[in-house]
Structures are given as C-alpha cells and as structure tokens.
Copies of this chain bind each other. A is one copy, B any other.
C-alpha cells in the first residue's frame, strides 16, 4: 500500500498535524523539522491522497470538459490551451463527450456533480449559441467556442466578424478591388458574421460585397471548386475570401485547372489556418487563424477566476489573426494580425 501521512509522521518523529503543515508549507516550524518531514516524504515516495484532502478543503482541483459533439477538428488546440492553463493551478481535466445526446449530457452532469468538480467548460462544434445546460449546476460553468444563449452565463468565443474583416482587408491590401466570398451554410452564425466583417472591410475601402458574389454551401472542397468555376466564367473577380481552408483548397484547385494565376490574377484567403490543408494547397493558402489554443487558455483562466468567486458573465469575443502565405502575400503592417502565441500543438 501507498504510504499515508501517518507513515511519514511516524518516520519523521512528529505528529500527523505537524507532518501535514510541513508538507504543505503552512504554519510555523523549525526549518530543520520541515526539512526532515520533506526528506522522509521523498524517501518513502509519499504522494498525498488528493481525494482525501479535497474532502476537507472542499476543492477537488478538477475541472470537467463537456463537449457536446465529439472531438472535432477544433477541439484539440482548445484542449491543449485549457490543459496548460489548468496545470498552473495543478488542476486536472475530466473528459466528457455528450455526442449531441441529451441523455448522455445529463448523465455526465450527474457524474461531474458526484465528483464535485470545481467547474465545467462546455464546448461544441460551432460558435452558435447553444441551449444552456438543463439545470442549475453546483459549480461555475464556462462556455468556450460555443456560447450560451443565456446572457447570465459566461462564454468565450471567436470574433468571426473580426476574422472576416481581417480576411477581406488582406485581399484589399493585396490590391484586389472585386472580391467574392465562397463560404459555408448561411445557417451557421459564424458564416453570417464573417460576411458582415468582410462587408465592413470593403465598405471602409469604398467597395461592396454584393449578394451575387457570395456563394453558400457545405464546408467542403467541392463547394469551392464549383463556385470558382462559376466565378471565373461570369466576371472579373480578383480576390476570393474562402470561408474555410477546405473551400479554399477547392477554389485553388479550380483556378489552377483554369490556368488562373494565384495570387496575381486572383488572390485567395482562407479560414481556419488548418496547416495541413493550407500548406498542401498550391500556392500555400493565406488563412485566418482563430487562435483556439489561446481561446482554451483564456477560457480556463476565466473559469478559475469564477471558481474563486469572480465570475465574468457575458460573451467575450477574441480577435483572430492572419497566417500570411503565398496565395495573398501582402505584408503585415501592424502587429494585431499575428497574435499566435501557441506552442506547437498538433493541428491535424
């Protein structure tokens, strides 16, 4: 059996209470005593039972992560950020995948409550507001990436409007004057916000993004491929803002097939900065990065503050940044576009 604090106390010749204080750096005591306790603890390879201590302290240093629909493309970087921020507080992550299933979700909430987690992070596939969790929970909740439709809840998500603005402005800086947009389904909130952002950027340049130049479709290469064919047949577009890197890849392939030069004839900006795709595209696809690792970090930090009694209700939107590549190489002119402080987190 693993040694208990009693074993340490006995071996160090002190009482259990003193051993506890010694180990936790609390209370006052002779430095040599503390050292002796620490030494014997090391010798016996003592590891205090966290479950026992959380019984008295009331804190478990455990946070749940409930994902509502699986671990998609966007979860891993977010997870990495969450984990990194939690580990500075020596907190751990309990994983729960509810798979869009209300029964599973309910089940997991029970499990998390039974484990007395200190808090919960809820995430999901899209940034669209999600139905809030079914009942009032005995711990603070933070929605990350996805948002809660209840304004009293705390959410941190991507500023897609800003992302759209960044993308369009990059095309403008490349010299594009007639810009089209090929993107995902209009039912997706992020898609609509990116459109709004792109329009704002164009308006700032005295230009427009008319409805005829926007193509909505599934987030897939095919959408980009087909749309690009049509756009080239119709008129003289000189820049395309693609709503995802997959779409961008499809567009690039179509343009390549038509002998249209990228970026000289038509410049391209994608979205997601999915390096696997962006780098496989010829030429490399310039892309908007949602900084999900950062989102994960900030989400965990905010949750830790909520756990400490300082919740931050409302929706916070984080700016995107730009990964410049050859498909739209206009150089960066200010620093806000490259916020990527992520360490190497596997991205695909």
Contact = CB atoms under 8 A, between A and B. Distances in A.
Contacts of A92: 94-96, 111, 115
A200 interface: no
Interface string A128-152: 0000000000100000000000000
B50 A114 contact: yes
B73 A345 contact: no
B69 A346 contact: yes
B50 A280 contact: no
A93 interface: yes
Contacts of A83: 95-97
Nearest to A343: B99
A217 interface: no
A73 B348 contact: yes
Interface stretch (A52-60, A183-191, A298-306, A313-321): A52-60
A71 B60 contact: no
A154 to B, nearest CB: 22
Nearest to A82: B95
A335 to B, nearest CB: 27
A64 to B, nearest CB: 9
Interface string A20-63: 00000000000000000000000000011111101100001010
Interface residues of A, number: 53
B51 A115 contact: yes
A348 B72 contact: yes
A218 to B, nearest CB: 11
A345 B70 contact: yes
A49 B113 CA distance: 8
Copies of this protein in the assembly total 2
Nearest to A279: B220
A254 to B, nearest CB: 12
Contact of A51 (B95, B96, B107, B116): B116
Nearest to A90: B111
A291 to B, nearest CB: 17
A114 B71 contact: no
Interface in A206-240: 220-222
A59 B107 CA distance: 20
A93 B90 contact: no
A18 interface: no
A8 to B, nearest CB: 14
Contacts of A48: 114
8 contacts: A47-B113, A51-B55, A69-B346, A76-B76, A79-B95, A99-B343, A221-B280, A249-B280
Interface of A: 2, 47-52, 54-55, 60, 62, 65, 69-73, 75-76, 79-80, 83, 87, 90, 92-97, 99, 107, 110-111, 113-116, 125, 138, 220-222, 246, 249-250, 253, 276, 280, 343, 345-346, 348
